[in-house]
Each structure stands twice: as C-alpha cells, then as structure tokens.
Structure 1
Amino acid sequence: MAQGGRAFNATDAMIDYELKDIDSEDIEDLLVKAEKSFDLKFGYTELVHLTTFGQLCDHIAAKIQLDNSADCTSQQAFYKLRDAISATIQIDKKSISTNSLLEDFLPLESRRLRVNQLEEYLGFKLNILRPPDWVTMTLGILLLASFFGFGFNWQVGLAGLIFSLAGFRIAYQLGNELDVQTVGQVAEKMTRENYLKSRRNSTTFNKKEINEILTHWFGDLDSVRQN
C-alpha cells in the first residue's frame, strides 16, 4: 500500500532541504512522532551535526538498529486491523477489505465503545475520532476572543482561555466523528503512527518505508509552513 493513497518518493530537493530552514518546534514535533512510532529516544545534542533532511532520515533509520526487511508494513497493519475488527465485532474477516467503510463497522451509537475495543485488541491508540467541525470552530473562535479579551479585562480573558482549552480537551475525549473513512486509511495511519507495533515481526523494519514515513511528515510540515 502507498502511504495515505499516494507515492512518497523523497525528491532530491527534499533530501537536500536544510534543517536550519525548518522551525525548531516543527522538527521537535517530527522527532516526537518518530520516538513514538519507531520506539526511539533522542538525546539533546544528538542531532546537532545534521544539516539536511536526508541526513536526518539516515540517522533515524540507523538508530532503529533492527534487521532490514523488504516486507510491507501497511499490508501487515491491514491484516492486524482486519483481525481486530473481526474479533471485536464478530464478523467474517473475509468481508473486510481496504476499501470497506468504517461507518459500516462503527455505527454512531456505539462508535466510541467499538473503537476502544479495537484499541484494546491492538494494544495502542488509533486516534481516529474527533469532535464535529462546528465544535472545534466555536472553541477556536472563543480561544481567539479570549486573547483579545486580555486587552480589556484580564479576568475575562483568562476565564475564556481556561474555558476554551478545557472545552478542546473534553471535545476530543468525547468526539465521535471519524477522522478517516476506510479500513485502508486506518492501516496507513497505524503504519505511520505505530510502525513497529503494526508489523508482524517488530524486530525488523523496512528502511525504505521509514524514509517514506519521514517524508510524509516532512511534507506535512512543509505544507503547514506554506499555508
């Protein structure tokens, strides 16, 4: 499977991209994702000698220190997810394909319960539920308004800030909207966010896939900067 339904080939321009041109918080966010997905820990000064995105990819791949294998992780992630759906919902796994719609297996009235069951079976969070758009938009407006409120009355501004941040936390804890639509998309998400746990053999890795995942994250950062 291609990551996220597209091919991720790191172009020469991306490989040679200077890390100094990337916001340090964006790099930190990428490293946090890598630590979680690839079971790594980075030291404070470990990366200071790296100057390009390509060097960062090579460093992370070398740090994983597992046997390289050419097998496809997203395919293995799909098989694990299919088994989890079949076992928790009690349906024939042969009826589940990468194009199967999640809403067919996760009806709204029992969605959060079933997602929790899937996560317990798999052993990690899927993070596929979110609050409705109108909720996040309303809380975002309130958060912005609270900052303006500080200029008029700090107590009102502080109250708005606390309320909006608490609202975001509760909204994401109770959110019931699907963030992805198909089983295949969940498998791709598993591959990126829980790479080793999604593999059949967690003592091996596919170096090419690591570069593809890092390129995906890097592309996300680049698109955010451009917007």
Structure 2
Amino acid sequence: MGLDSVEILVNVENAFGITISNYEAEKITTVGDIHNVVWRHVQGRQSMRCRSQQLFYKLRYLLINKFQVPREAIEPDASLNDIFPKKNRRLKYLRLKKELQLKVPELALPAVWGRFLMVTGITLIAGSLALALVLIYGYGYTPWLYVLPGLGIISTVFISNILDAVRTEFKPGLVKAYTQMVLAYNYGTLMTNKSIGRQEMEVIINHIVAETAGLDLHEIAPEKSLTNDLGID
C-alpha cells in the first residue's frame, strides 16, 4: 500500500473516529472495500462526528465546484473571510446558503461597525432614559419612563437594520468552526437518526478519496480499483 492509500485511510480513520487494522488495510483494493471496512466499524454508532465530516466535505465540494475556490485553499483551519473576497461576498454567501439548503450563521458586522452600533445603542438608550428621568422629575409625566427608552431601543434596531448592507464578516471565520456551527443550527434535522446510514457513510468516504487523491467525485465508485482505475498508489 503506497503513501496515497495510507493517507486516504488515515483521513478516513480521523473522519469516523475508528482504527483500521493492518490486516484490514492489506485487504483493501477497491473503494468498495473501504466502504465495507468502515461500515463494520461504524454500523449503529452515534454519528455526530460523521455528520460534521459530511458537512465539511459538502461545503468543500460546493466551494470548489460552484465558486471555483482552489482545492488547496479549503482546509479545516482556513478562514472563510480569506476564501471569499469581500467584494460581492454577501451575494456569494446567499448562493452558498441556497446550495447548502441548511440554516447557516448570518454574516456579521466588521469590528469597527460592531463597535459603532454598540456605542450608538448604549448612547441612545442611556440618553433616552436620562431624558425620561429629567422629564419625570421636572414635569411629573411618568409615561416618559417607558416612551423614550423604547424609542431608543427602536432607533438602535433601525440603525442595525440599516447596517445590514455592511454585514460581510464570517463569524465564526474558520471552516471547521463554521461547519460545527451549521451542524448545531441544524442538529434536529441532521441528527434525526442517531446512527449513520450506509449511503451517508459512502458519500463521506467518496469525498475523502476524491479530495485526498485530487480526483473528481464522479470518478469514485465502489467497484473502482484504487491502483488500476484511480491511479492511487
């Protein structure tokens, strides 16, 4: 078994949290053999880790094939803020959300705008409350205690909505953290069945083989020989 095959098996082990024995590895000659070995290890097991890996490879596949992001740029510790240039980032993110068909984190305000909104909100609400107290003690009109602070809150929300156009930052920014956040947002949907299915497992493995060997996903099939058909040593 060559270095490429070993790397594939290591990535598979990491993805599913299993250990493939040397005896099992020596028997692997096709993609289907990998499927069978892994299935014996994961059948009926909890699948949180598998779901996370599935999401990662789905995200990676979309970025490569739909957004022409270089394969080597997409790693768990890569920054989405680097992967997606700021120009047209919001439009591209809308496309990504549509392709993923899952609930995803919204883009956040850049730090400078976030601080501006926080300071503005505190100033408006605190100023409104202070003015309300002055009017109450000066004129005895207690409804000001509710009206003015309420207007301060409404104004802050209004300004926040106006700033939607400048929400362009990924938070969390790293691919790994983003994947985990998406999994958390969609936990009820993705984790309806606690054990991973055979088809889901095969999809994850096929992605790993394709990504590790630098092949197109459509080239990966159970009957394909790693060496003779796919050129993996």
TM-score, normalization: structure 1?
0.51
Map Cα deviations across residues 96-124 of structure 1 (whole Å, 9 max, x no partner): 21111112221112211111111011113
Deviation (angstroms), 1:196:
4.9
C-alpha separation in 1, matches of 2:162 and 2:96: 21
1:112–1:176 Cα contact (<8 Å) kept: yes
| Structure 1 counterpart of 2:120, one-letter code | L
Instruction: Say what the alpha-carbon RMSD is for the aligned residues.
Output: 2.9
Deviation (angstroms), 1:195:
2.1
Shift in alpha-carbon separation, 1:175–1:156, aligned structure 2, 3 A: same
Indicate the percent of aligned positions where both proteins have the same amino acid.
25
Shift in alpha-carbon separation, 1:104–1:124, aligned structure 2, 3 A: same
Write the mapping of 1:24-43 to structure 2, written as runs, cut at 5 A.
Answer: none
2:69–2:83 Cα contact (<8 Å) kept: no
C-alpha separation in 1, matches of 2:154 and 2:54: 43
2:105–2:181 Cα contact (<8 Å) kept: no
Point out where structure 1 has 5 or more consecutive residues left out of the alignment: 1-66, 208-227
Point out where structure 2 has 5 or more consecutive residues left out of the alignment: 1-42, 136-143, 197-233
1:149 lines up with 2:137 in the alignment: no
1:125 lines up with 2:110 in the alignment: no
1:103 lines up with 2:85 in the alignment: no
Residue of structure 2 equivalent to 1:43? none
Residue of structure 2 equivalent to 1:137? 118
The count of residues paired between Structure 1 and Structure 2 equals 138
Deviation (angstroms), 1:167:
1.6
1:146–1:157 Cα contact (<8 Å) kept: yes
C-alpha separation in 2, matches of 1:204 and 1:172: 36
2:125–2:152 Cα contact (<8 Å) kept: yes
2:80–2:174 Cα contact (<8 Å) kept: yes
TM-score, normalization: structure 2?
0.50
Map Cα deviations across residues 148-182 of structure 1 (whole Å, 9 max, x no partner): 33323536544433211212233346412221221
Larger RCO, structure (CA 8 Å, separation 6 or more): 2
Write the mapping of 1:1-227 to structure 2, written as runs, cut at 5 A.
Answer: 69-71=45-47, 72=49, 73-93=51-71, 95-131=73-109, 132-141=113-122, 142-153=124-135, 154=144, 156-172=148-164, 174-197=166-189, 199=190, 203-205=192-194
3-state SS, counterpart of residue 180 of structure 1: coil
Q: Which runs of 4+ in 1 moved over 6 A?
A: none
